[in-house]
A and B are shown apart, each in its own frame.
Chain A
Amino acid sequence: MNRRFHTIGTFVVAVLATWLATSCSRKTESAPPAKPTAFGAAIIESSGGKQFAQTGALLPQPVVVQVNDEQGAAVAGALVEFAAVPGVTFDPASALTDSSGQVTTNVSLGGMAGRYQLVASTTDKSHKKVELKIEEIALSYQQTLGRRLNDQYCERCHNPESTVERVSNYDNLEIKPHPFTEGDTLNKISDADLTAIISYGGPALNKSALMPAWGNTLSKSDVQALISYIRAVSDPPSRQAGPVYAESGIKHPTSWPFSGLVKPSYTDASFPAGQGTEPDTTGHNRLPPLGKQLATTSMRQSTFWPFSAALNGLILKKVYAFTQAQYDGEDPGFDRHDGSDFPFEHDLLAAKGRQCHA
């Protein structure tokens, strides 16, 4: 009798322990921000606002902000933190201003096309937050294609600014074309009208013949791509370009008891941009794929999951130990032509804990 209760007790404890061990929540640890040595009163944008980049890509220029005091003089050593919707990454996400009062950060936008609002903030002397909002635009595939067409065909006349490589033709034209950022005018023109002007030239809508017909040069999808680009960059934003992407989205089931042992670790970023995974220094990722698959699929496919989970926890441990031991016996075949070696730890508990943040 005594022994049986012992066994049951052990079993219950084992189930609970496995449950706890496998349902540990993922926490992303970020380095604590540096301590500010000074405080400013205002934060202003130096450069890097209103840029376009492909979804997920780095902005071509870094974003530079400056912290000023009440008199408008630059403040060195003030802490600036950058924030945006999940999916946007900053490198660095927070920093102290340099001797000229500035902080430079490389920004990559999220995986969805649209307008992104970045918030740079600093604290003033009374620990009140001072914020600066910067807008950036992420272009979808179609808009990127449109941008390329714009660069090749349209921009020479439609962009009044010249660059080293391209002298603008804008000033040479008797009737000035609309820059594509001119949302006040372009937003009022329907897609159908824009298509007509691009395909059949200005005269199609009783406008100047200086706008030639492109319908025989550009395909229909090219024209659509161009229009989607024009809509994306217009200022004020065009309705068709979609809203500013800043909604938090649908509530995702964060603690979901019935979805198996692998808990969803899903964020609104929709496509994890490679950040947020916990650093793993244990080396247990050396487990061969077969062992992993065995270990996890057997766990999921069982209907009697609460029981099988506990069993599998034990099986998993065995599988890990076995495969790891096998693996250590061989040369793993790394590109180690320098002959150096790397230390490994074989922390099995950590290996099990890894399930949550795989």
Chain B
Amino acid sequence: MKQKFTSIWQKLFGDSVRAFGVVSVIFLASLAIAPAKNFFSEWRHYQHGYLKTIRNRSDANTLQRHFKPGIQQIWLPELGVVDRCTSCHVGLKEPSLTDVSIQPFRTHPVIPHKTDQFGCTICHRGQGAATTVAEAHSSTLAWEQPILPAKYIESSCGECHRGPLPGTPVLNEGRRLLSRYGCVNCHTVKLPDGSTVKASDDPPSLSHIADKTTREWVYAWLKDPQAYSVSATMPNFKLSDDDARDISAFLIANSTAVPGDSATLSAKPAADPSAGPSLYGESFCASCHAVQNAAGNVVGGDVGPELTRIGSKVKPEWLQGWLKNPRIYDPGTAMPHYRFNDPQVATLSGLLLAKADSDLLANVHLDAATPEQIAHGKRLVSDYGCASCHEITGIKKPENFAPELSRIGSKSITQLIFLPGMPHTLPDYLAGKIKQPRAFSPNLRMPQYSFTPAQIDALTTALLALNERSTTLPPSLAVPATPDSNYQPAGKAGKLMTDLACFSCHRINGRGGDMAPDLTWEGSSVQREWLVQFFKNPGTLRPALIRRMPRFNLTDSEITELTDYMMTVYQSPAVDRDSMPLSGYSQGEVELGKQLFYGKYSCQGCHILDTKTDKGYIGPTLTHVGSRLTAAWIYQWMKNPQALRPGTVEPNRAMTDEDAHALTAFLISQKGGAPQEVAKK
């Protein structure tokens, strides 16, 4: 062995000339390494593949002309983009390659931005300057941001677009959930514009909880909120029996009474067993409150809490007081003050109290609370940060209770602790943490939420959008969200509108819900007499709608107050309601309008004007439109509906003045003989 090596050594380097020759050959060979490495590079392989792929296509000549060999680069200094992705993704900008399903040659799907202006990594992340697939796509070793999985891609939209976008449903939902599930009550989320994300979950105050419910219910709720109501947003804190016992003891002991929030009624519930359900239906409780049906589906709105087992929760006197006037117990509630009379309250509370689940509290037996238990409960309430969400007498809302999430989307994975078996990427970590926080450590205080897999993806997308780059991008790129409106109507009418919680359903001047029509310009739109009648007896305008305006039993003076305010204040500058008369149009105009209605514009497809012939279910019924709307509003609406109510479904038909005028004349003549009948679903 040794001899052999010695002889080889002798042969190669034995004398100086031979040694020189051998060293030269080695030197030349090593010089060849760099060109060889370049020649056999990956991108060259893909470019060859691309040329082979397009060779037999009918548009081969065009594609070949567009093809540029060599490393391609998109360089955008102001965005920090150096993207060489197009070296391999050669057909990115070739629309004719939509039928090619192999990567890296597919054409990019249509998006609102150009790759020349934004590059690739702005949206997809990854390492743009890399020229090998592994380094560009999945290297977390040299680069903190591997390529973003497709399901989270909308997070990149959120770096610039701070408000909801029509094309990013997942991001929009994620952002909504961050507020709706109260994540931001504990985790501060500051946006790049300096504002803080606000919670929209409106958790109830616990300061007067003993008025409302029993300690047994609090205990059962704390143990498993979803056992009481499957749609509860309250997470499960996985409390031990003793901890739940002590917290419930503290909350009840700590509760103070609110004078007048409970009522004892002398009235008896209506004898007719169908009176309760029919009052529940007439009051449109289901527009806001859901109930789980026999099949297990939760049916109804999600503005208020689910009522499936409400009878096991509330004390009867409290419920009656609440139904009489919810604002005594909770001045900020989204529930309207219905102005029910005593028999109605008795009937409705009878119905609700019957919605009980005897199993819920069957196994809850709590002894009287000891002072030690109460003290321990208080400590637990502080430890778990209950006051981050709920108002509790004597406990301050903790500041920075949980880590701030303002830049979570660029958290370095070196700072994260992964579970065994979990892929080492930030999205996987975030999704894992949201899915099962306590899996990371049983001592963590973050509770267990009951999110669906799709909700977890949406939340992860929203969190990934909260990153460093969203702050460093040029400010000109930022598309701010529409600022929240804190519009508050003034005076007596304003107080009345708060009392009736109009904003829970209606939007006015940018504030309020989207369940019912926007009332910003209601004063220009409707006639006064109609509005008065509508408040007295709200009929339905849209036959196919299941959520309708409830009747609030308003007094005449209240109706006058509201009507006067709305007719005076809610006027559109674009519509002068007195500019066109409500009658006196010529028969010819009306006739022409009728022809246009049924012929050229075929309005009967969506509207019912004559209940015998028309069937359209989409727009409001027009049988009485002449006594409902003002002529000026109809005319402007014909000209451009979206200008009056953005986003309305009615298409803008770009009518001529004559057509619009004739249709206005025809519609305003539809006064409807008999009082408007309530259409049945």
Contact = CB atoms under 8 A, between A and B. Distances in A.
Nearest to A214: B651
A303 B414 contact: no
A342 B421 CA distance: 16
Interface stretch (A75-83, A123-131, A265-273): A265-273
A264 B418 contact: no
A30 B250 CA distance: 49
B443 interface: yes
B654 A297 contact: no
Contacts of B223: none
A73 B111 CA distance: 49
A34 B94 CA distance: 46
Interface in A259-287: 259-260, 262-266, 268, 270-277, 279-281, 285-287
A114 interface: yes
B151 A108 contact: yes
A282 B214 CA distance: 50
B138 interface: yes
Contacts of A289: 144, 412, 414
A56 B642 contact: no
B169 A148 contact: yes
Interface string B78-122: 000000000000000000001101111110011110000000000
Given A1-B6, A217-B651, A217-B652, A172 B40 contact: no
Contact of B134 (A265, A271, A354): A265
A334 B414 CA distance: 10
A70 interface: no
A256 interface: yes
B435 to A, nearest CB: 11
Interface residues of A, number: 110
B45 interface: yes
A279 B422 contact: yes
A250 B109 contact: no
B165 to A, nearest CB: 9
A19 interface: no
Interface string B394-419: 00000000110000000011111110
Interface residues of B, number: 97
Contact of B601 (A212, A276, A281): A212
Contact of B149 (A152, A249, A271, A281): A271
A296 B132 CA distance: 14
A213 B166 contact: no
Contacts of A335: 402-403
Contact of A54 (B106, B170, B453): B170
A248 to B, nearest CB: 8
A296 B141 contact: yes
A292 B110 contact: no
A228 B37 CA distance: 44
Nearest to B109: A140
Interface stretch (A94-102, A185-193, A239-247): A239-247
A258 B40 contact: yes
Contacts of B651: 153, 212-214, 216-217
Interface stretch (B190-198, B231-239, B613-621, B622-630): B613-621
Interface string A175-197: 00000000000000000000000
A209 B599 contact: yes
Given A262-B132, A264-B133, A173 B441 contact: no
A142 interface: yes
A157 B148 CA distance: 38
B132 A270 contact: no
Contacts of A113: 109
Contacts of A165: 546
Contacts of B423: 274-277, 279
A303 B149 contact: no
Contacts of A214: 651
Given A57-B454, A114-B101, A274-B425, A305 B141 contact: no
Among A57, A111, A152, A240, find the residue whose CB has the most chain B CB atoms closer than 10 A: A57
A333 interface: yes
Interface stretch (B28-36, B276-284, B462-470, B657-665): B28-36
A212 B605 CA distance: 9
Contacts of B421: 279
Contacts of A166: 544
Contact of A250 (B34, B46, B139): B46
Nearest to B107: A242
Contacts of A114: 101
A210 interface: yes
Given A249-B103, A335-B403, A209 B142 contact: no
Interface of A is mostly: loop
B670 to A, nearest CB: 19
A277 B141 CA distance: 13
Nearest to A293: B142
A277 B424 contact: yes
Contact of A272 (B6, B137, B653): B137
B103 A270 contact: yes
Nearest to B603: A212
Contacts of B422: 279
A254 B546 CA distance: 59
Given A270-B103, A271-B147, A272-B147, A305 B428 contact: no
Contacts of A288: 414
A57 B457 contact: yes
B424 A280 contact: yes
A116 B104 CA distance: 18
B69 interface: no
A286 B414 contact: yes
Interface string A322-348: 000000000011110111101000000
B602 interface: yes
B649 A91 contact: no
B170 A354 contact: no
Contacts of A157: 605-606, 618
Contact of B445 (A58, A256, A268, A337): A337
A342 B299 CA distance: 44
B419 to A, nearest CB: 9
A87 B5 CA distance: 53
A205 interface: no
A226 to B, nearest CB: 12
A266 B454 contact: no
Interface in B432-483: 441, 443-445, 453-454, 457
A340 B439 CA distance: 13
Nearest to A342: B417
Interface string A211-245: 01111110001001000100000000000101111
B150 A273 contact: yes
B443 A358 contact: no
B110 A173 contact: no
A327 to B, nearest CB: 9
7 A-B pairs with the lowest CB-CB distances in the bound complex, closest first? A56-B150, A111-B150, A172-B615, A56-B151, A249-B102, A358-B141, A167-B544
Given A153-B649, A216-B651, A258-B41, 18 more contacts: A5-B5, A55-B151, A56-B151, A60-B454, A91-B453, A152-B649, A216-B653, A221-B112, A250-B46, A264-B133, A268-B102, A274-B149, A279-B421, A279-B422, A285-B413, A285-B424, A296-B141, A358-B141
Interface of A: 1-2, 5, 54-58, 60, 87, 91, 106, 108, 110-114, 140-142, 144-145, 148, 152-153, 156-157, 164-169, 171-173, 208-210, 212-217, 221, 224, 228, 240, 242-253, 256-260, 262-266, 268, 270-277, 279-281, 285-289, 292-293, 296-297, 300, 303-306, 332-335, 337-340, 342, 354-355, 358
9 contacts: A153-B651, A157-B605, A157-B618, A164-B299, A212-B605, A250-B103, A250-B104, A265-B138, A271-B147
Interface of B: 2, 5-6, 30, 33-34, 36-37, 40-42, 45-46, 49, 53, 98-99, 101-106, 109-112, 124, 132-135, 137-142, 144, 146-153, 166-167, 169-170, 299, 402-403, 412-418, 420-425, 427-428, 441, 443-445, 453-454, 457, 543-544, 546, 599-602, 605-606, 615-618, 640, 642, 647, 649, 651-654
